[in-house]
Chain A
Amino acid sequence: MSATTKNRYDVAIIGAGPAGMAAAVEVTKAGLSAIVLDEQPAPGGQIYRGIETSDEKRTKILGPDYAAGRDIARAFRDSRAEYLPGATVWNIDSALGIDVSLGQGSKHIQAGAIVVATGAIERPTPMPGWTLPGVTTAGALQILLKANGVVSDDVVFVGSGPLLSLIAAQMLKAGVKPRAIVETVPQSRYVAALKHLPAALGAASYLLKGMAMMLSLRRAGVPIYRDATGIRIEGNGKAEAVTFTSGGKSHRLETTSVALHQGIVPNQQVTRLLRCEHEWNKSQHCFVPKVDEYFETTMADVYVAGDGAGIGGAVAARLRGRLAGLRIAEKAGRGNAQERRSVTDALMREAKIRPLLETLYAPSPEILAPADETLVCRCEEVTAGDIRKAVDLGAPGPNQVKSFLRSGMGPCQGRMCGLAVSEIIASRRGEPISEIGYYRIRPPLKPLLLSELAALESEEAVPVDLADESAALH
């Protein structure tokens, strides 16, 4: 690997998680030039965050699935791909020119093909009190553990999904017992999920791991509340307690740390910016970019590998990255059809567990239909009621709601509210969410510092869209 000296590459890869790293290895193996643009300071993505610096003890706590990232990162470091850490992509034009912010400066890169490997984000979980300090996503606590070895000793986990119990079990191994797990999975889901069990047995190792985690939590005496509803986080300026109903009783658990999780969804910012077509995935309950069997989007030479193409997990992410890489090589006349087929077969095996997980851990009805007074847009402090009112006043979709209310116009640019806003509009209008669509995403993908903008202006003209929506980030 060498330092960045040039700005034209056969392939630019955005993100250095399992998909991005695998794609980089494949295309460089085929002799193509590649650069990997990563927001983080080191390879791994969120799933293998801190993989190069995690010591034996911490790696043991995080388990073998995490440790598997070591070899992947090593293979990537050994490849001929250039790696640019601390690089935030903030614009991509239709000719595949990429603008990257490097903290103090900006860089322009011209790519022949792009692999978007920006992975997933946690599904927005609007509920009363979710903006209080002390409330985080469950993934945030896992990042703290992976990258920093920082833990909280009185966490109440709230929500559903395999990640929730995984993170709770990891905290337990790290020596801090979670205060409780408050699960939002309705009883009826277990029955509905049953029909997917036979297929899931094809991926029995996942089922066994899940059961082992729950067992370890129960053995340690972590209280698990099931089918919880009416969840609220209370506190004056900080999280102080979680209240909910479970088993016909109301409960109040005091805590300073609440971790929310309702599954993960594709991070759509880059594919939306590029105007790739997206579709509603009913089973995963989120928008996914339309891709062909090689993960190429509706825009030629733009691929989306990893969870960004629909949630498939870390193993699938790596396989998808390889497949996209092999396809790019093939298009450049350096194909390996046999290897491509074996990757496709492995991907099919990996997919077996998904229908069961998706049915059992579909998002809880409460976060899909938050109460009127619940904040949905955290940045601009817009409530579900405000959005419903805007719809009643005639706003037909997310972009009109955005101009009425400024929701999605704050610094997070809709990442934290987009899905919830589309959902609320769809149900208020009684239309399918596939028709309602999603925010239009414009550059810059992340707010730029004035210094970066100044550096840019002196170099070249400010992109049109930037001038056009130059709303100040307050």
Chain B
Amino acid sequence: MFKRAEETGAPALSFTFEGKPLKARSGDTIAAALLAADERIFRTTPVTETPRGPFCLMGVCFDCLVEIDGVPNRQACMVQVEEGMQVRRQSGSAEVIS
């Protein structure tokens, strides 16, 4: 299980994942905050709709794609949590230019 190794004084932020209220620390990426809450499944794949979660946490693999405030295809490991963000799992395909 994932957890915080330490308590720091970093201020807490609130956001939601699939409508569920969660807490993050300021400076957390969405991926880090979700993992700290032990959420593992971030999206399903476009081809076979298999569940995936973050793999590299450094912007390389794109397995952490989520929908943030209605915008799909955002890398959860590259975007920092902001107060009130609404994050959803990305399911299957979403249109964007690659």
A381 touches B47 (CB 8 A): yes
Interface residues of A in 205-246 (CB under 8 A from B): 237-238
When each residue 85-98 of chain B gets 1 if its CB lies under 8 Å from chain A and 0 otherwise, what string results?
00000001111111
A150–B7 Cα distance when bound, in Å, is 10
When each residue 1-24 of chain B gets 1 if its CB lies under 8 Å from chain A and 0 otherwise, what string results?
111111010000000000000000
Please count how many residues in chain B sit with their CB below 8 Å of the partner chain's CB atoms.
Answer: 47
B36 touches A133 (CB 8 A): no
9 A-B residue pairings within 8 Å (CB atoms): A121-B56, A131-B52, A133-B52, A137-B55, A147-B32, A151-B4, A411-B73, A444-B98, A470-B97
A140 touches B27 (CB 8 A): no
B4 touches A149 (CB 8 A): yes
Residues of A within 8 A of B (CB): 39, 41, 46, 53, 55, 57-58, 61, 121-122, 131, 133-137, 139-140, 143-145, 147-154, 174-176, 237-238, 256-257, 267, 378-381, 409-413, 415-416, 444, 446-451, 453, 466, 470-474
Q: Which of B1, B48, B65, B98 counts the most chain A CB atoms within 10 A?
A: B98
When each residue 71-87 of chain B gets 1 if its CB lies under 8 Å from chain A and 0 otherwise, what string results?
10100001010000000
Q: A58-B6, A140-B55, A413-B98 are in contact. List 10 more A-B contacts (CB 8 A).
A: A39-B59, A122-B56, A136-B54, A139-B58, A140-B57, A152-B1, A411-B62, A416-B61, A450-B96, A473-B94
A474–B50 Cα distance when bound, in Å, is 14
Q: Which of B2, B8, B29 counts the most chain A CB atoms within 10 A?
A: B2
A266–B1 Cα distance when bound, in Å, is 31
A174 touches B55 (CB 8 A): no
Please tell me if B67 contacts chain A, counting CB pairs below 8 Å.
no
Q: B61 — which chain A residues lie within 8 A by C-beta?
A: 378, 412, 415-416
* A211 CB to nearest chain B CB (Å): 25
B35 touches A472 (CB 8 A): no
Interchain pairs with CB closer than 8 A, number: 160
* A59 CB to nearest chain B CB (Å): 12
When each residue 38-58 of chain B gets 1 if its CB lies under 8 Å from chain A and 0 otherwise, what string results?
001110011110111111111
Q: B32 — which chain A residues lie within 8 A by C-beta?
A: 144, 147-148, 150
A133 touches B40 (CB 8 A): yes
- Contact with A121, one of B1, B60, B94 (Cβ below 8 angstroms): B60
A153 touches B3 (CB 8 A): yes
B2 touches A449 (CB 8 A): no
B53 touches A133 (CB 8 A): yes
Give B79's nearest chain A residue, CB to CB: A103
A409–B60 Cα distance when bound, in Å, is 14
Give A236's nearest chain B residue, CB to CB: B51
B55 touches A135 (CB 8 A): yes
B41 touches A238 (CB 8 A): yes
Q: A58 — which chain B residues lie within 8 A by C-beta?
A: 5-6
Give B28's nearest chain A residue, CB to CB: A148
* A276 CB to nearest chain B CB (Å): 20
